[in-house]
Structure 1
C-alpha cells in the first residue's frame, strides 16, 4: 500500500468521506485542518515530541498553502517547540502500527503564521470535482473509476486531506458516461465538463489524462477550471499513483496561490470596498450575512452603512486585491452575484465604489 496510507492518513478518511458523499461538491469549511495522524514507535515522550514536530510542519503546509514551507529557516525554531501548539492527543493502533493523533491550537498557529509573515489560506476552500482517464500499454484508454482502482482513489483522497482541499469524484453512472464520454475527457473538453458537472455543482473541475509511456514511467496532463479561468499543468512519476498524486498536489498549489491572504496585503492600504446585499429578509439573515463578512480572512474590518428594507450596504476594509475578494465571495453559495450598473452615458463607476458597489443577493 502506498506510503501515504502507511503513515496513517487513511485513518482520517472515514468521517471526511461520509461528508463527501452527502454534500455537493461546493466550498466547505475544513473543520479538521489542524488535526494530523503520525506513526510512532512507542508512547514515549521522545517519539511524541518528534511526531509533534512532523505534524506541525504538515499543519503549516495546510494553512499557508505552501508545500515547501518546511524549508523556511524561520519555521525551524517553531517546529522544535511544537508541543506548545498541541491542544490534545491520543493513540490508536492498527495492523501492529501505533499512531499518534494530534490536535493543534488554530489560534496559536494563526498567530505564528502572522508573526512570521507567511500567507494564510482560510479554511473555506473550493470543492473540486475530479475526472480521470488513463492510457496504459496493456489496455489502452479508459475512464478511471473508483470501484476499479480503489487504492488510487484512496491515496488521492489522502493527499486531499494532507493539503486541506475538498476533493470528490463523479459516480460514473450512465448519466456521467453520456455527459462526459471518454473522448471528451481525454480532449479535456471544458464544455462537456460543465454539462457533466451540473449535477454536482462543483466550485472547480480538474480533468486529468494519465499516460503510461514505458513500464516504469508515467506522465499526465491536467486542466483545472475554476472561476472562469483555466490552469494547465503536467506531472510525471514512476507509477500511476505517484503521477496522480503530484497532479493533485499541483492543483492545491494553484488554489492556494489564488486564495491565500499574502502578508504584503496586510500592509497595503486597499481602501474601502462597498458591498450591497439584497434579500436580507430577516434579522437572522442580517446577523448571518454580517457575521460571514466579518469572519473573512481577507476583510480586516466592516462598517455597516445602511439598512433599507431587504437591502444593506457595508464598507469592507480588505487586505487583498478586489479579484481575490470576489473569488472568495463566490465560494459562499448563499451569495449570488448581481450585475453591475452603467448609466445612460455609458459611464461605469469603479467597481466597489459607492456608485457601483459589489452587488450580491443573499439566498
Structure 2
C-alpha cells in the first residue's frame, strides 16, 4: 500500500522501548529431499512415492507449482528411481488429513526420499526451467481464525495444532523458510487478534521489523454457516502487497491454497532462468583487513547459486574488487548480498560497480 511508510512512521513511536530480537537466520532447507505418505512398504507403493517425491522436489527447486505441466518432464517423472540416492521409512501423522480441527490425526507411515542434487540440477538446466536459489528469505506468517465459540485466535502449536502443523508441512514442501511469531508479551502489545484480522499493516510491519524480515504473510479464516471455510490472505514482499481470497471445504485446504499461491509469488520475485551467457559485474568489498576475512567473504559469494565464476580484479589497502559472473539478473545476486547481516551497501560512483562493507564476526 502506498501509505504504508507513512503509517509505519506514525505507529513506530507506540512501540519504542519494546524488546527487539537478534537478526533471524534462515533455516537450512533441503531442496532435494521429500517426505511422501505411503499406505505400506510394498514395491508398488514405493514406486508411486518415488514419482510423487520427484515431483515435489521439482516444484521446490523451481518454485513453480505448475512446472509439472511441462511435458518435457514426463520422461523424468516416469523414471523417478534414476534420480534417487537414498530412502527410508518413518512413522508419520499427516495433518492435512484431519477432518476437523482438534481431531486426532491417524498414525501412518511415510517414506523419506533423497534425490541427487547434481541430476536434478542438470534436468532443470537442460529444460531451461527457472531456479529459485536455496538462499531464500525468511517469511514471517500468521493465521488468525474466527471461531464462533472461542472468538478470534491465532493458530499456534497449542491452539489449533492441526492447522499449525499443516502450515509448517506445506511451507517445508515448497522450500519456504517459515518464521513463526513468538506470541510473547512484546508481540501481544504490538499486534492483537483483532488487529491481525483487520490486516492492520502498520502493526504487522512493526512486528516484521522486530523479527528483521522483509516478507510476511497473514491469513484470516472462518467457517461459514454452510460449512465452507472462507479466507483472505495478504502477502507483503519487501513492501509490495498482494491480497487474495479463497473458499474450500476445510481449513488445511485453505492453508494449502494460500501456501501454493504465496510460494509461487515469492519465487517469481527471486527465481531466475539459467542463461548460456552470464553477466559480469564488479563488486568492491571494504573492511577486508586480513586473509581470514578475504576467504570468508569470497567463499560466501562463491556459494551463492547465481554465481558462475569469481575473480579478484584489484586489491587496494582494505578494499578488494571482485569480478563476478552471474546467471540471471544482477538484482538477484545484489538482493542476496543486501539481505546478509554481515554486509552493508555503500555508495558507488561507477556504473556496474557495487560497493559493500564486510562486517567480520
Q: Above 0.5 in TM-score? A: yes
2:140 is equivalent to residue 129 of structure 1: yes
| Aligned match of 1:84 | 82
**Corresponding residue of 2:26:** 27
Report how far residue 179 of structure 1 moved: 0.8
Deviation of the 1:340 alpha carbon? 4.6
Structure 1: how far apart are the matches of 2:89 and 2:152? 44
Matches of 2:175 and 2:134, distance apart in 1: 8
Q: Is the 8 A contact 2:145 2:220 kept in 1?
A: yes
In structure 2, distance between residues paired with 1:66 and 1:176: 33
Residue 226 of structure 1 corresponds to which residue in structure 2?
A: 237
Q: Which runs of 5+ in 2 are unaligned?
A: 1-20, 93-105
SS at 1:233 equivalent: strand
Deviation at 1:121, TM superposition (A): 1.3
The alpha-carbon deviation at position 336 of structure 1 amounts to: 2.0
DSSP 3-state at the match of 1:29: coil
Give the one of 109, 127, 131 matched to 1:116. 127
Corresponding position of 1:19: none
Task: String of CA shifts for 1:279-331, please: whole Å, max 9, x gaps.
Answer: 22332221121122222222222221112232211122222223323222233
Q: Which residue of 1 aligns with 2:97?
A: none
Where does residue 320 of structure 2 map in the other structure? 312
Q: Distance in 2 between matches of 1:41 and 1:151?
A: 21
Q: How many residues align?
A: 326
> Which residue of structure 2 lines up, in the alignment, with residue 240 of structure 1?
251
Give the TM-score normalised by the residue count of structure 1.
0.81
Does the 8 Å CA contact 1:26/1:201 hold for their aligned counterparts? Answer: no
Map 1:55-74 → 2, pairs under 5 A: 55-74=53-72
TM-score of the superposed pair, with normalisation by structure 2: 0.82
- Structure 1, residues 243-293: CA drift from partner, whole Å, max 9, x if none? 122212221111111111214xx14564x2221111223322211211222
- Are 1:279 and 2:279 matched, yes or no? no
RMSD: 2.5
Q: What is the SS of the residue equivalent to 2:202? A: helix
Shift of 1:33: 1.9
Quote the offset at 1:145 in angstroms: 3.6
Sort the Cα spacing of 1:96 and 1:142 in 2 relative to 1 into closer, same or farther, 3 A. Answer: closer
Show the 5 A alignment for 1:144-293.
144-263=155-274, 266-267=275-276, 270=279, 272-293=280-301
Distance 1:232 1:278, change over 3 A: farther
Is the alpha carbon distance of 1:333 and 1:98 closer, same or farther for their aligned partners in structure 2, counting shifts above 3 Å? Answer: same
Question: 8 Å contact 2:23–2:341 — kept in the other structure?
Answer: no
**Could you tell me which residue of structure 1 aligns to residue 354 of structure 2?**
358
Q: Secondary structure at the match of 1:54?
A: helix
How many Å separate the matches in 2 of 1:214 and 1:361? 57
Q: Measure how far apart 1:41 and its partner are.
A: 4.1
**Which sits farther off after the overlay, 55-64 or 165-174?**
165-174
